[in-house]
Structure 1
Amino acid sequence: MPDRIYTSSTAEEVLNTLRYVTRFEYSVLARVALALSLSKHGRNAPESPDLTGKEIRWTSLFSDDEHTFSSVLTMVYGEKMSKEDELFARRVKHHIDGGCELLGQLFRSSGQDEIIFLQRLAAELPLTGGRATAGGVPILNIVLGMKELNNERVVIELNNTARHANSHLAIMGKPGVGKTQLLLKILADIRIQSRFQTNFIYFDYKGDVVVDDRFVEITRCTTYQLPHQQLPINPFILEDYAASSIMISAEEKAESFASIDSHIGTVQKGALSDAIRTAYDRRSAQALRYPDFREVLSIVRDRYAHDNKKDDSLIEILRRLSDFHLFWEHGSTQPLIDRISEQTFLVDLHQLPVLKELVVYLVIERLYKEMAALPDSDTKEGRRALRTILVIDEAHNYLAQKNPFLQKIIREGRSKGVVVFFASQSPNDYSQKFFDFKELLEFSFIFQCEGVSATAVQELLGCSTKTARELQVELARLRPFQVVSKSLTDDAEFTRFKAEAFFKAYQ
């Protein structure tokens, strides 16, 4: 009965290298290699006759999990196997050697960087547990890139409550300088480091993220391309259906419409609010208490017809929402998302001819309502668990809107573990008279951009007036992927680094 295996000499080289880099034991690395090969090769692991490598005993390889591995191999090969079988030992050896080859390729493609290698490994083979937690809360230390002068890693401790007031983040820069690549890299790292516990809701304004299959795969993200697909969200779902809750929701929807379309006046807001309350009332005796936009449109049309009133902007918006079937409707075959804060999904808006801003507005409203009803997220050893991240690309299209729900998420989201990430074209976008976005952004990353206000730079980076004026000129001269950020240390006014691209980190 075999009680050990001998790897190939090539596999031994890989194990030695990775043990030095990761400080994992040989047995742990061999198990990872075995699992990776089973995942990638299945029953077709390449045969490996070389026995001149590392000796690995069963007791160290399997520990108390030998029955689990026997069951896995039985399932993969379709025949009962146990470690007493000679065939079992050969197959384990082939898979360990084959898995070591895969690990070696992955390490080389990661530039022999430990953190990048482990992140890619986690993406290829989702691992349980986790290397870094604080009392069970994942530690989110995100590598942004390298300082150009000394190649020192630039890292943000995203959920460290002792160092940072919140986790809100903004990335700014002209098109084509790398800001979206950094954003995707940060999101992928968060998903992997949190063991997919931290979700995100991403609004893709340009349509360049939804087609990135690698990002979608790694982050386990569901995509919805509007208007070709329906967003399985009903904006009328409430925590409770008391008369006061319905009245407040109806008034908020009316304000939402008015903030998006200046043609929606007082009379139209009143008509919309009244129609929404009526729609809820008509559903009061049904199992599903929430209406949809088709029902609201029908009520408004009936009342306009009764009053001999011509169609106007309110009718047009409701008609578009209904005709495009943008949101879930009664009778839809698609399962309805009950809690959007518990899902990771991307909404592609770039082909939607109208109502982009309203769609975003209504989803943000829904997220805030869920957030407000949640208990505070866990905080252990100075680390707060992040539940979900609201990601708004091309944010300059939204920042000028007086969206009270976005403002409330930014102000109140910290304790709930709800975070906002913005990507926009200029620091000037965050200078809004009605709300001080700059004050509540903990992390600010500025790529190349022109015509930047020194005041905006000073307020975003927290630097002196003199430094902000000097940076005005420097920001216009930055090369792609060069970034100036709020200082991440205590000994400088700002930090300058070269950002890491998602496509390189996760190629």
Structure 2
Amino acid sequence: MADRLYTSSEADEILSALRYETRLEKAVLARMAFSLSLVRVGTKVPRSPNFSGAQINRPTFFGEHELFLRTVLGMAYKKPDISEEELFSNRSLTKNHIDHGMGLLGELFQECGRSGDALLARVVQEVEFAGRREQHGQGLDIFIGRTVLQRTELVMELNNTARHANSHLAIMGKPGTGKTQFLLKILADIRIQSHFQTNFIYFDYKGDVVDNQRFLEVAKVQPFGLLQGGQSLPVNPFILPAYDEQTVNVSAREKAESFASINAKLGVVQKGALTEAIRAAYAQRAGSPAPYPDFHDVYQIVSRMYEEDNKKDDSLIEVLRDLAEFDLFWRHGSDVQPIDRLSNRTILIDVHAMPVLKELVAYLVIERLYKEMALLPDSPVKDGRRTIRTILVIDEAHNYLNQKNMFLQRIIREGRSKGIVVFFASQSPNDYQQKFFNFQELLEFAYIFQCEGVSAVSVQEILGCNSKSAKELQTEIARLEPWQVISRSTEKTEEFVKFTAEAFYKCY
């Protein structure tokens, strides 16, 4: 029984560099490399014939988990008995995965901005998602209703990559037509069909969904009511994958642009002051266990800057004061820890009680989600079905679509490969006609309830029908009964279909 093995010289070089940069022990890095390789390539790991690198001792590598890791290898290779030579030797499967995994770790380390903390988070994400691979790619086929005349059942194949380019969705209609109940039914079905592995983040602008206890129970949703009973959102928008000078500077500029895109009163001077204050706030927290500021830190720094320059309070001070005093987001000294990852949580953010800052809160959460998304491995596809990890749900989206949210645009453009999807609920197809971004082009699913004043152009673009059909549908859409919907047809011989939508309260 071998009690040691030797890595390849290439793996040793990467191991030495990572030990210096991350301050992690050699055995810890070796186990990380082993796990990452096993979930990435499984039995297709290349053989490693080089033994001139670092020595790895058996007791140090396995610790108390030798039986567990032996079992994992046996399951991966479908062998009930892994021999000693296969388990731990210079010709073992373990050595092959360590050497191959070191190369993968080196690549990830560069992608994570050479940050040890970001590398750990990335590896955990990869191994966690891979560990649930049995259910990855599961079909999300949602029964949405029956056609008005033939009563034919309609099923939305949400993550079928053969039929749909993406899974982004929009539901449009004036209040009282049934669009919210339709949306809740779809979300509940997704949660149940995915065995609660597909999550969502729901922005509730009206406050009607947070009161639907049955929906919260069925979909297993954690609600957060901002400005209600002192509740805040345990999210810190200043948490970054790394805290080097470049990452902090880029994030500070992006935050300033975010504020300016929501508040037109913030000019160049205010953006510059905010950028400088955010940088100073990070410097103030540098080296601490939580090296990120909160809005109280930033507000205090900007207040001092204004006081020193004898400047009067302006719109920037007002916004920061509201963010700090209302405790909308997590702050240092809180009794709870900030949410480490939004993309694996199902939460409802109720902003209906907020007189201001609704769009800014949404913007900052969306920015955080995008930053997480960028670090995720690609979402797996099995049997033509792509795993959907998280759905961003924006209710009353007509209040938000005209904001130039670059992170929302990036999620819509880039989210497909990562399994991140956007659902909109708004009052009209006209809401998606924005000159700065073509929302219609990237909405794969569009459901139109009764609307008034709909333009033929918006109908044509969002349904993909010809101009003649779009003009005829203008009148049809205005006359729809409650629960009746116009959408694209899945049949090649039809441009659109008219159906009666399902409702959450009827199904659950």
The TM-score bracket by the shorter chain reads 0.7 to 0.9
1:389 — aligned with what? 391
1:303 — aligned with what? 305
Q: Residue 247 of structure 2: SS of its match in structure 1?
A: helix
Opposite residue 499 of structure 1, the aligned amino acid is A
1:245 aligns with 2:247: yes
CA contact (8 A) 2:181 2:503 kept: yes
Taking the TM superposition and a 5 Å limit, the aligned residue runs for 1:465-476 are 465-476=467-478
Query: Distance in 2 between the 1:254 and 1:208 partners?
Result: 32
1:422 — aligned with what? 424
What per-residue deviation string (whole Å, max 9, x for no partner) do you get for residues 116-148 of structure 1? Answer: xxxxxxxxxxxxxxxxx9974221000101112
1:124 — aligned with what? none
Query: Distance in 1 between the 2:367 and 2:172 partners?
Result: 25
Query: Distance in 1 between the 2:160 and 2:134 partners?
Result: 10
Question: Unaligned stretches of 5+ in structure 1?
Answer: 1-132
Query: Distance in 2 between the 1:447 and 1:136 partners?
Result: 33
1:199 — aligned with what? 199
Query: Distance in 2 between the 1:488 and 1:350 partners?
Result: 37
1:362 aligns with 2:364: yes
1:223 — aligned with what? 223
Taking the TM superposition and a 5 Å limit, the aligned residue runs for 1:101-250 are 136-228=136-228, 229-250=231-252
Opposite residue 214 of structure 1, the aligned amino acid is R
Post-superposition offset of 1:204? 0.3
2:402 — aligned with what? 400
CA contact (8 A) 1:156 1:488 kept: no
Query: Distance in 2 between the 1:387 and 1:476 partners?
Result: 36
Opposite residue 498 of structure 1, the aligned amino acid is T
Q: Residue 343 of structure 2: SS of its match in structure 1?
A: helix
Q: Residue 211 of structure 2: SS of its match in structure 1?
A: coil
1:494 — aligned with what? 496
Query: Distance in 1 between the 2:296 and 2:490 partners?
Result: 50
Query: Distance in 1 between the 2:466 and 2:312 partners?
Result: 57
Query: Distance in 1 between the 2:328 and 2:498 partners?
Result: 42
CA contact (8 A) 1:454 1:469 kept: yes
1:283 — aligned with what? 285
1:25 — aligned with what? none
Opposite residue 200 of structure 2, the aligned amino acid is F
Query: Distance in 2 between the 1:190 and 1:472 partners?
Result: 31
2:339 — aligned with what? 337
Post-superposition offset of 1:335? 2.9
Query: Distance in 1 between the 2:272 and 2:165 partners?
Result: 40
Query: Distance in 1 between the 2:134 and 2:433 partners?
Result: 36
CA contact (8 A) 2:351 2:358 kept: yes
1:505 — aligned with what? 507
Q: Residue 485 of structure 2: SS of its match in structure 1?
A: strand
| Identity in percent | 65
Query: Distance in 2 between the 1:322 and 1:486 partners?
Result: 45
Q: Residue 164 of structure 2: SS of its match in structure 1?
A: coil
Query: Distance in 1 between the 2:418 and 2:346 partners?
Result: 17
Q: Residue 497 of structure 1: SS of its match in structure 2?
A: strand
> After TM superposition, what 4+ stretches of structure 1 lie above 4 angstroms from structure 2?
133-136
Query: Distance in 1 between the 2:242 and 2:488 partners?
Result: 42
Match of 1:436 among 435, 438, 450: 438
Opposite residue 412 of structure 1, the aligned amino acid is E
What per-residue deviation string (whole Å, max 9, x for no partner) do you get for residues 455-491 of structure 1? Answer: 1001111111110000000000000000000122222
Q: Residue 162 of structure 1: SS of its match in structure 2?
A: coil
Query: Distance in 1 between the 2:398 and 2:446 partners?
Result: 15
CA contact (8 A) 1:170 1:422 kept: yes
Post-superposition offset of 1:403? 0.4
Post-superposition offset of 1:152? 1.3
TM normalised by structure 2 equals 0.73
Query: Distance in 1 between the 2:425 and 2:351 partners?
Result: 15
Aligned residues: 374
2:263 — aligned with what? 261
What per-residue deviation string (whole Å, max 9, x for no partner) do you get for residues 168-206 of structure 1? Answer: 000000110000010000000000000000000000000
Query: Distance in 1 between the 2:333 and 2:143 partners?
Result: 46
Opposite residue 192 of structure 2, the aligned amino acid is I
Match of 2:323 among 321, 324, 327: 321
CA contact (8 A) 2:138 2:382 kept: no
Query: Distance in 2 between the 1:203 and 1:191 partners?
Result: 17
Query: Distance in 1 between the 2:305 and 2:217 partners?
Result: 48
TM normalised by structure 1 equals 0.73
> RMSD of the TM alignment (CA)?
1.0
Question: Unaligned stretches of 5+ in structure 2?
Answer: 1-132
CA contact (8 A) 1:371 1:413 kept: yes
Opposite residue 137 of structure 2, the aligned amino acid is V
CA contact (8 A) 1:134 1:383 kept: no
Query: Distance in 2 between the 1:428 and 1:354 partners?
Result: 25
CA contact (8 A) 2:178 2:482 kept: yes
1:462 aligns with 2:458: no
